[in-house]
A and B are shown apart, each in its own frame.
Chain A
């Protein structure tokens, strides 16, 4: 059974870069789209973006200028970097496995396995 685990600093200073890693266990990172989602305290979910194991990416336009998602297939890990953070980036960050395809009418994409999440606070 595939499991995902986020890791990284829980506290980041304003203007610095937030860096998180998601380790995939119980399955290969090859195939599937690997995603990042965040949830500010007391608020809803926001999709950050995804990466395919081959390296192709798609980012939320609202974050695109600050986001980089990368993958390391040798370690079965993928990572998130968010630059120039502010207090508005304080959130629980989740990594998730994305399933995609086209059938029978539309393109489909959804997250079927999620990590437990890690809290990142932006504060000096």
Chain B
């Protein structure tokens, strides 16, 4: 089902910078905004980044998003233990009558 591809895992030590990639196509990332959601263990997803690089109120500026062509990335700088979670990219897809697609998800581990 997932049309947005992410690496299954990423890791870093506290204080490091971790980057997660999200690869899509011209019908989704290439022609729409990208969003990122953080899912802490056992909880509901939380909006982390909207419209490529905007942070909702309360999200630390350690989290940043970017987009180029049909790919996007999420960067976490100054990695902290509480950042250990699953991260999902998402975008609207213009194929068929339109649908919202999520990435395959990336598990971030703080070593």
Which residues does A use to contact B, with CB under 8 Å? 35, 37, 44-47, 58, 60-62, 94, 99, 106-112, 114-117
Contact = CB atoms under 8 A, between A and B. Distances in A.
B45 A94 contact: yes
B8 to A, nearest CB: 10
A44 B100 contact: no
Contact of A45 (B51, B98, B99, B105): B105
A117 B105 contact: no
Given A106-B92, A112-B50, 8 more contacts: A44-B88, A44-B103, A45-B90, A61-B99, A62-B1, A107-B32, A114-B45, A116-B43
A86 B99 CA distance: 23
Interface of B: 1-2, 31-33, 35, 37, 43-47, 50-51, 56, 88, 90, 92, 96-105
Q: From DSSP, what is the main secondary structure of chain A's interface residues?
A: strand
Contact of A61 (B47, B56, B90, B97): B97
Output the residue of A35, A112, A115 with the most chain B CB within 10 A. Answer: A112
Given A106-B32, A106-B33, A58 B44 contact: no
Contacts of B88: 44-45
Contacts of A46: 1, 102
Given A62-B1, A114-B45, A44 B92 contact: no
Contacts of B37: 45, 111
A110 B50 contact: yes
A70 to B, nearest CB: 19
16 contacts: A44-B103, A45-B102, A47-B101, A58-B98, A61-B96, A61-B99, A62-B1, A94-B44, A94-B45, A108-B33, A108-B92, A110-B35, A112-B47, A115-B44, A116-B44, A117-B44
